[in-house]
Structure 1
Amino acid sequence: MDCKTEEDIMKLIKEDVWMMDILNTAKTLQLPDWWICAGFVRSKIWDNLHGFEERTRLEDIDVIYFDPANLDESIEKKYEEILKDLRMDIPWSVKNEARMHLKNNIKPYQSCVDAISKFPETATALGVKLNEMDEIILTAPCGVDDAINGIIKPSPHFLNSRGAIEIFEARLLQKNWKQKWHMLQIKETYQK
């Protein structure tokens, strides 16, 4: 499938039985402002871009939610255990974005979409979930062009953060995305 728009991304996910099962499983938690984000969406787009028949293995499935009323990290671990009981084959990671500003030493996020907009790379700043009608909703606060075109560059917010370039470059080394997806383009110059 030639993926060029947000609608194409949602169709790609809708046609993927495994991804839909993951989304339906996460939805059972009924978390406030929940999303599955980052590599779950990005890797699907990049696999499609490269014409891969087999899914690239994910280190984790990032489920995020926003609950400022309960910032206890142990609750996140309980949600992970519930998800593992439902699908033990999935490497679940659950985080309350209302708490993550404490870990990252930044201003509090206002919502999960706000948090996603501040992810390190534009191609990673993506999230999906199912609405009440089980329709896919996609959020892409930095747009989808970079993900669709295989471009890796810092998100605008991240680029303006202290130490951003060093962190971005360390992530490039650690993630080693070009090893998996050879057509990716890393933007060497960062424009503010």
Structure 2
Amino acid sequence: MSDPLTARLGAILRATPGLMQVLRTARDLALPDWLVFSGAIYQPVFNHLTGRALDYGVKDYDLGYFDPDTSYEAEDAVIRRVARAFATPLRELVEVRNQARVHLWFEGKFAEPYAPLHDSAHALTRFTTTAFAVGARLEDDDTLTILAPFGLDDLFALRLRPNPTRATNGFARTAASVIARWPEAQVAD
């Protein structure tokens, strides 16, 4: 982690006990091509920057993995396996999704087209705002791999900017939800 913002992000993530438990458990489960992303990553940063408890506002921990088996049964087996690995309350907060399956249900749920993904990192390029497009994985040697296709500047500036590569219907709703919890955040067009 030579980049100062990446190092800073790593320090914030490591200081967030619930998130670190999720990362350790996910690593131990050895899911294929896994990442924890979205609110589990950006919310501790927003909290750190605004002086809140690091777990303030965390509704869930998004755990994505990529398995070419796109059957519902295969994903359901992984969801059950992950649930067994966590104790309450984390069990109810960890949301697991096979990123290879997202295109099968996304359009029906969000009324937007969604082409198939190539891997879990590819999912980050589809997030509504650049500040959410950050994923982390805890490696076997305890290093953190951090992926941020749009960089970390918006995240550390508390800036909500629409995804520059994929317009979404949900940006205004997402931004309003974030501003309600972190009024210090700013929305950029």
TM-score band w.r.t. shorter chain:
0.7 to 0.9
Q: What is the CA distance between 1:172 and its match in structure 2?
A: 2.9
1:98 positional shift = 1.0
- Indicate how the Cα distance of structure 1 residues 32 and 153 shifts in structure 2: closer, same or farther if over 3 A, else same: same
**Partners of 2:131 and 2:160 within 8 A in 1:** yes
SS in 2 for 1:157: coil
1:82 equivalenced with 2:81 (yes/no): yes
Matched to 1:20, the amino acid is M
| Residues 106-156 of structure 1, C-alpha deviations (whole Å, 9 max, x = no match) | 322111111111111100001111112121111111111111110011111
Aligned residue number for residue 171 of structure 1: 174
Structure 2: gaps (5+ residues): 107-112
Matched-pair contact (CA < 8 Å) for 2:44–2:54: no
User: TM-score, normalization: structure 1?
Assistant: 0.84
**Which position in structure 2 is the counterpart of 1:52?**
52
Amino acid at match of 2:184: M
Trace 1:9-158 onto structure 2 (pairs within 5 A).
Answer: 9-53=9-53, 55-68=55-68, 70-85=69-84, 86-90=86-90, 91-104=93-106, 105-158=113-166
CA distance in 2, matches of 1:170, 1:151: 15
1:58-98 deviation per Cα after TM superposition (whole angstroms, max 9, x unaligned): 22210001111x11233333333333322221111111111
SS for the counterpart of 2:29 is: coil
What fraction of aligned residue pairs are identical, expressed as a percent?
25
Q: What SS does the aligned partner of 2:95 have?
A: strand
- What is the aligned length? 177
Relative distance call for 1:54 and 1:33 in structure 2 (3 A) is closer
> In 2, distance between residues paired with 1:18 and 1:92?
10
The AA in structure 2 aligned to 1:43 is Q
User: Greater CA deviation, 47-56 or 148-157?
Assistant: 47-56
In structure 2, the CA distance between the partners of 1:40 and 1:15, relative to structure 1 (3 Å rule), is same
List gaps (5 residues or longer) in structure 1.
none
Aligned residue in 2 for 1:183: 184
